[in-house]
A and B are shown apart, each in its own frame.
Chain A
Amino acid sequence: MTRRRVTIVILCWNRWELTRRCLETLKTHTDLGQVDVLVVDNGSTDETPARLREIPWIRVLTNPSNLGYVRGNNAGIRAAEPGSDVLLLNNDVEILQPGWVDSLRAAAHAAKDVGVVGCRLVLPDGRLLHAGTFILPDTFWGQQIGALETDVNQYARTRDVEGIVFACAYLKRELLDVLPGLSEEYVSYFEDTDFCLRAKENGFRTVCCGAVTLLHREHGSTSDAPELFDKIFRKSQATFRTRWKRALEARYTRSVSWQSILNFPTGYAMSCREILRALDAEGVRAAYSYVYGPGTPFPVREPENSGDYLLNVISKRETGRRPPVSVVYGQGDVFLRNKGKTRIGYTMLEVDGFPAEWVKNGNEMDEVWVPSAFNRDGFAASGLTVPARVMPLGVDVDHFHPAVKAFPNPAGDFVFLASFEWGERKRADMILKVFNQTFRRTDPVVLVCKVLNVNKPTQVGRQIEALGLSQAGGRIAFLYNKEFPYHQLGALYRSADCYVSAGRGEGWDMPLMEAMACGLPSIATHWGAHTEFVHEGISYPLRIRGLLPADARAPYYKGFRWSDPDPEHLAHLFRHVAEHREEAVEKGHRAAAEMAAKWTWGHAARRIAERLDAIG
């Protein structure tokens, strides 16, 4: 690996206390033999100049007055050691980990075309401030990725991003030879995104190195003066818009109207959010509209705010009365609300066929998409005559991966985790009984069940006690009706050792995929959509005894069948996993690798984009 010398440029203007902390933490966590530290004093009038003179291991460049962020940093870049890479660092940043420069340098030199490297930035209160940036041509307002989520080590890999904030920016010399500094058309704000976009124009990628996390106090020089901030921001935004409007709009090479559900805690809504984000990253300009509401089986109006900037923008885009291509992503009974010239219905179901109304509506579409061959075959068996295409869903490997923070059982017990809505389909009764009977209370094994129930007549507690479980049997604990923010769910999976999804049938099963992406071995019913991505190499497929009539409250299941998972095999797998932990860990590793290699939302969006291209 290239061990090119690095000049760390720290721009400061007054606020000595911030600069002092930055330099102290830098000295603690940096091999000063490998770097040159250049502090650019932008004309400070407090004790900063005198204090800087007392530090022997830094070089100081003093500007006669405050030149602003852009010109101040450019002075630093020009004064950097010849031939060195440059690492711009804000003085309100603190270093938290050793080896941070090495990691940034390794990311920069991992490929010839990497030009800019940023990192994760966290706030002192533990929230994630930054893991890259994006800017939409709809608003020209730069957004930080992962902004203000609780930090559970999401976005831990090195990944391509549109931009980064320059609070920490590693700039490779090859790029600086082409772009010798930030654009001085900006006083402050937008200059970092502008630089990254110019780097891209010159053939250099920008990446965010998730292995490095720095603390950012965000005590920028204008944050305490909102009027000044607003003035500088608007001026820079206008400059940026003029320069980049056409290029940003050209990022979208296809468009689609997406009619679905977004702002409710349902499976379709959760996956819809991920699909829309991934489509945007794939260059598909999606315009979202709500497909349910009055006159549909879900007659509730949708709240407008998704809590997510990108999704809110996508929701406000106009689709027109008759868009060229529209996808209804939801149950088949709303397919006919599709308003496109080319009409696509995208749905799934947990049983071996589809209701007559869904099939009738499906036959009114130009084509039907389903996530699994299981559903494609079910549609065909139910009489669908238009083409049915398998368009798998995916998993978010930035929030679900093996390095997500865990909260492990302090007693060291092996933890099985099951997560389900209480009901017939998920076989909660079987999972609890089999676990309780397979293990004894004295065994170092526990089962954690995350249970949801929003159906008032269902008394979950009574039903659990009526199962006849034994206090002397395997220990079970419940997380009952707790909803965790989606970005924290990976930490739940990482706090367990094996995930259990032993239900009768699934239309996809995002939680199982998320657990697998987190590196957990899993016991999963080998039927339904599971067969699309579960196999012996990465999981413990649970045998079924056969198929049974799908007897449940859901009207869509009537007349169809689902599986009968084998309780004896489940008992065997529980014990096998608990007794062969190294083997299970290995399967978990392979599961995480396979999820990242084959099943991300990026893969899902790429397939959709390819299909849209083919439709024309």
Chain B
Amino acid sequence: MVEADGGLAPLEREVLELRALVRALSERLAAAVALLPRDEAIALARGESGEGGAGGPPFRLTEWHETIEVTRANIAAEMDLLWKRMPPRESA
């Protein structure tokens, strides 16, 4: 509900502010995309990436040994192996 006596002015101001905000965000997005590799930039433009990890090559298990045998393990040795197996974030 808009008041008749000059009530439109605040709304107009808000519209101007929002437009400026959208422009600024667009510029920041364009600058960020420019830093991405080409494939990732295209995937982002298609809406395939977004915030999360959807898109990109499918996840594949490495060093997976399917078994129903439960192996007794030592925590120190197993954690050491685990951290070595973890894909580094730098190589993404």
B67-82 residues at the A interface, CB under 8 angstroms: 67-76, 78-80, 82
What mask results when residues 461 to 505 of chain A are scored 1 for a CB within 8 Å of chain B, else 0? 110110111111111111111111100110110010000000000
- Chain B binder among A272-280, A284-292, A432-440, A535-543: A432-440
A436 to B59, Cβ gap below 8 A? yes
| Complex contacts, B54 vs chain A, CB 8 Å | 437, 470, 473
Shortest beta-carbon distance from B5 to chain A in Å: 43
Question: What total count of A-B pairs have CB within 8 Å?
Answer: 141
B34-75 residues at the A interface, CB under 8 angstroms: 40, 49, 51-61, 64-75
B72 to A470, Cβ gap below 8 A? no
- Chain B binder among A233-241, A354-362, A405-413: A405-413
Q: When chains A and B are docked, how far (Å) is the Cα of A150 from the Cα of B76?
A: 10
Interface residue? A242 (CB, 8 A): no
A470 to B56, Cβ gap below 8 A? yes
Interface residue? A452 (CB, 8 A): yes
Shortest beta-carbon distance from B81 to chain A in Å: 9
B59 to A482, Cβ gap below 8 A? no
B52 to A436, Cβ gap below 8 A? yes
A129-150 residues at the B interface, CB under 8 angstroms: 150
Q: When chains A and B are docked, how far (Å) is the Cα of A455 from the Cα of B72?
A: 18
Shortest beta-carbon distance from B11 to chain A in Å: 32
**Of A413, A455, A472, which one neighbours B53 at CB under 8 angstroms?**
A472
B58 to A465, Cβ gap below 8 A? yes
| Complex contacts, A407 vs chain B, CB 8 Å | 75-76, 79-80, 83
Interface residue? B31 (CB, 8 A): no
Interface residue? B87 (CB, 8 A): yes
**Of B60, B75, B86, B92, which one neighbours A488 at CB under 8 angstroms?**
B75
Q: When chains A and B are docked, how far (Å) is the Cα of A403 from the Cα of B82?
A: 22
Q: Assuming A409-B86, A491-B75, is B68 touching A472 (CB within 8 A)?
A: no
Q: Assuming A411-B86, A441-B53, A472-B92, is B60 touching A482 (CB within 8 A)?
A: no
Interface residue? A459 (CB, 8 A): yes
Shortest beta-carbon distance from A227 to chain B in Å: 36
| Complex contacts, A413 vs chain B, CB 8 Å | 86, 89
Interface residue? B13 (CB, 8 A): no
A440 to B87, Cβ gap below 8 A? no
| Complex contacts, A472 vs chain B, CB 8 Å | 40, 49, 53, 55-57, 92
| Complex contacts, B82 vs chain A, CB 8 Å | 448, 477, 479
| Complex contacts, B80 vs chain A, CB 8 Å | 407
Interface residue? A228 (CB, 8 A): no
Q: When chains A and B are docked, how far (Å) is the Cα of A53 from the Cα of B67?
A: 65
| Complex contacts, B56 vs chain A, CB 8 Å | 441, 470-473
| Complex contacts, A477 vs chain B, CB 8 Å | 82, 85-86
Residue in A closest to B56 when the chains form the complex, CB atoms: A472
Q: When chains A and B are docked, how far (Å) is the Cα of A476 from the Cα of B49?
A: 18
Interface residue? A266 (CB, 8 A): no
Shortest beta-carbon distance from B14 to chain A in Å: 28
A470 to B58, Cβ gap below 8 A? yes
Residue in B closest to A437 when the chains form the complex, CB atoms: B52
| Complex contacts, A150 vs chain B, CB 8 Å | 74-76
Shortest beta-carbon distance from A484 to chain B in Å: 5
| Complex contacts, A456 vs chain B, CB 8 Å | 68
Residue in B closest to A475 when the chains form the complex, CB atoms: B87
A459 to B66, Cβ gap below 8 A? yes
Q: Assuming A442-B92, A465-B58, is B72 touching A483 (CB within 8 A)?
A: yes
Q: When chains A and B are docked, how far (Å) is the Cα of A456 from the Cα of B76?
A: 29
B66 to A470, Cβ gap below 8 A? no
Interface residue? A444 (CB, 8 A): yes
What mask results when residues 559 to 573 of chain A are scored 1 for a CB within 8 Å of chain B, else 0? 000000000000100
Shortest beta-carbon distance from A425 to chain B in Å: 18
B78 to A482, Cβ gap below 8 A? yes
Given A470-B57, A472-B40, 9 extra CB contacts under 8 A:
A413-B86, A441-B87, A448-B82, A469-B59, A472-B49, A472-B56, A473-B56, A477-B82, A484-B78
Show 16 A/B contacts (Cβ-Cβ < 8 Å), sorted by A. A411-B86, A413-B86, A413-B89, A440-B49, A440-B52, A442-B89, A464-B61, A471-B60, A472-B56, A475-B89, A477-B82, A480-B64, A484-B72, A484-B74, A485-B75, A489-B75
